[in-house]
Amino acid sequence: MTEAVANNSHREVDLLVIGGGPAGMAAAIFAKLEGLDVLVVEKSTQVGGTAATSAGSLWIPGNTQSLKAGYKDGPEPAARYLESLISRGGERNLRMRNAYLETGPRAIDYLEANSEVKFVACGKHPDYRDNTGAAVSGRAIVPEIFDGRLLGRDFERVRPPIQEFLVLGGMMVAKTDIPRLLGRFASVGNFFHSGKLFFRYLMDRLSYSRGTRLTMGNALVARMYYSLKKLGVPVLFETQLEKLVYDGGAVQGALLGSKLGTQRILARRGVVLATGGFAHSEDYRSRFMPDAKPIYSLAAPSNTGDGIRAAEELGVRIAPEDNGNGGFWTPVSITHRADGTKGLFPHLSLDRAKPGLIAVNKLGKRFVNEANSYHDFVEAMFASEGKQAIPAWLICDTAFIQKYGIGSIYPGTTDLKPFERTGYLISASTPEQLAKLINVDAAGLLESIRLNNEYAKTGVDKDFGKGTTELNRFNGDPAVGPNPCIGPIGEGKYHAVVVWPGEIACSTGISTDEDAHVLNGKGEPVQGLYACGNDMSSVMADSYPGPGTTLGPAVVFAYRAIQAITRGKNMPRQAGDA
């Protein structure tokens, strides 16, 4: 049912979903479960979008999975936490936040109970700020590991993860697998666990292009796609939105384009826009992103703002209306692949918080608490005076790389020459030589290293407080004291990796109400039109509260949209009407 559907010049369904990422697939699953006739349209050849390459976390305060695991939480402290972070959006944003917190656990439970999408509690995974109402544990959930072989030949329809995250060129590993793989000779249990993973992967490669043991975001989108298949929901691939059909004061469907031509799809109950945001639209990047417009994006290449563009033609409201940050951010380094292509490695949590690394600007000076969240790290890059921290350099020594790795260089790597030859890693015998090679001020770099080494003795970072927050310490090395995030630099050679701002999702998007109804310029619902995922203006505004800031709202507001549709709210017309 999920192969390309035959092209008809005219077709009619209950609900038309534009976009095959988690938001669109979730909306389609919910709609089908509620008895609606649903069609999903996907621009690319694969489902999953940006989420397929993500960690797959969902930020759902008070979720049932964590409560069952013994973690206590609820909407009230989460509401206080979000209030402390979010300053824009006014009353509308407050209503959306309250709706999100109230509905989140119910949406996830409904999805789990009625589909193949299953979740587990993350346990300890701190919110990204230590503000009032923040939690250390219980708010993040992740999808259960999924066996991609269940998809059969449709396994290739799942967008693969970032190449640099794959072991042996094609094997996915969960976060809990990493220490067991690195310590595979440390215990019998680790050895057998690692051997089982490698053997499974070798067997997979006899029949598949990559490993079928799927984790993180790949598991999430594969589980959603598998659910669509089991529910009999068709997916129209390589088909994109050209224009919304607007008549009689309501959206009645859409014109879709493909290599077979243009077709008109009428939607009796509405259209859901979930095209992934505007990440690869130069026009929208110029309009909505910072003046120092970032050039790197981790979003799916097909995310070019199709949904936003079609909605704007109807005069909808885009929020925020001023030129904000426009996105959610991570520092990225540029990798060099064996086939001559380049990739982006997101520096999320594996290196920046570890003891023995600092980040410096063009003056050789630190400008940020390196252990802060990836979003906050990049916001500090944008805020740096004269944009001196764009790009920035991560500085460490040889011992650090051998113990923790850096970027795409795995822990335990002893031969650094391949990375030095491509220019990914810059190495020198002294800080002065390194400063010259990376074109930063030598005196500034020497002083930054000296201060870091002093702070490593006392455990107190007098400049930026590295190691003082729950998130800092969570991502640090608990075996190091007195501060798990600060260690000396100077054992072996000195090394540098350059990092740039890169966005992982858009925060600016189509303005909606708490049921994902698209709003026009007067703030009134556009009948028959909904938006969720990165097409929707983020309920988090431009703040990033914790792991799963985009995927949590994508699923929850998809649920709320379908609930509104099946309650009969904002319906353009009834089935069978002309």
Averaged pLDDT for residues 96-109: 97
Q: Let me know if residue 305 belongs to a domain.
A: no
Where residue 514 sits, what CATH number does that domain have?
3.50.50.60
Q: For Cα atoms 565, 568, 571, give the angle at the middle one, nearest 5 degrees.
A: 75
Where residue 335 sits, what CATH number does that domain have?
3.90.700.10
In percent, the amount of the chain with pLDDT more than 70 equals 96
Residues 364 and 395 in one domain: yes
Residues 367 and 408 in one domain: yes
**Residue 244: its H or E element:** strand 239-247
Residues 196 and 228 in one domain: no
**Can you state the angle between helices 551-566 and 90-114, rounded to 10 degrees?**
80
Q: Which two tokens stand for residue 576?
A: 């069978």
Q: What per-residue confidence (pLDDT) applies to 575?
A: 36
Task: Please report which confidence band the pLDDT of residue 572 belongs to, taking 50, 70 and 90 as the band edges.
Answer: very low
**Domain end (from 216, 234, 265):** 216
Q: What per-residue confidence (pLDDT) applies to 87?
A: 81
Q: Let me know if residue 76 belongs to a domain.
A: yes
Non-local (6+) Cβ contacts of 399 within 8 A are: 356, 491, 492
Q: Let me know if residue 396 belongs to a domain.
A: yes
Q: For residues 435 and 420, is the Cβ–Cβ distance under 8 A?
A: no
| Residue-wise pLDDT tens digits, 170-195 | 888 887 887 888 788 888 888 888 88
φ/ψ (deg, to 5) at 68: -65, -30
Task: Please report which confidence band the pLDDT of residue 321 belongs to, taking 50, 70 and 90 as the band edges.
Answer: low
Q: What per-residue confidence (pLDDT) applies to 322?
A: 59
| Residue-wise pLDDT tens digits, 218-277 | 999 999 999 999 999 999 999 999 999 999 899 999 999 999 899 999 999 999 999 999
**Number of domains observed in the structure of the chain:** 3
Residues 212 and 222 in one domain: no
Residues 187 and 244 in one domain: no
Helix and strand numbers (H, E) in the chain are 16, 22
Q: Let me know if residue 576 belongs to a domain.
A: no
Q: Let me know if residue 362 belongs to a domain.
A: yes
| Residue-wise pLDDT tens digits, 207-223 | 999 999 999 999 999 99
Non-local (6+) Cβ contacts of 344 within 8 A are: 162, 296, 298, 332, 333, 334, 335, 502
Residues 251 and 132 in one domain: yes
Average pLDDT over the chain, rounded to an integer:
93
**Domain end (from 503, 537, 554):** 503
Q: Let me know if residue 300 belongs to a domain.
A: no
Averaged pLDDT for residues 320-329: 78
Q: Which of 377, 400, 399 is nearest to 389 (CA)?
A: 377
Residues 534 and 497 in one domain: no
What per-residue string of b and e applies to 282-319 under the rule 16 or more CB within 10 Å gives b? eebbeebbbeeebebbbbbebbbbbbbbbbeeeebbbb
**Domain end (from 183, 216, 249):** 216
Residues 184 and 66 in one domain: no
Residues 373 and 481 in one domain: yes
Residues 209 and 255 in one domain: no
Residues 404 and 355 in one domain: yes
Averaged pLDDT for residues 468-475: 98
DSSP letters spanning 513-554: -TT-EEEBTTS-EEEEEEE-GGGBPPTTTT---STTTTHHHH
Q: What per-residue confidence (pLDDT) applies to 62?
A: 97
pTM of the model as a whole: 0.93
Q: Let me know if residue 385 belongs to a domain.
A: yes
| CA–CA dist 45, 237 (Å, integer) | 6
Q: For residues 254 and 267, is the Cβ–Cβ distance under 8 A?
A: yes
CA distances from residue 5 to 11, 40, 57, 84 in whole angstroms, order as listed? 11, 10, 32, 48
| CA–CA dist 486, 461 (Å, integer) | 8
Q: Let me know if residue 319 belongs to a domain.
A: no
- pLDDT of 8 higher than 70: no
Residues 437 and 477 in one domain: yes
Range(s) of the domain holding residue 531: 10-144+217-281+507-566
- pLDDT of 491 higher than 60: yes
- pLDDT of 1 higher than 90: no
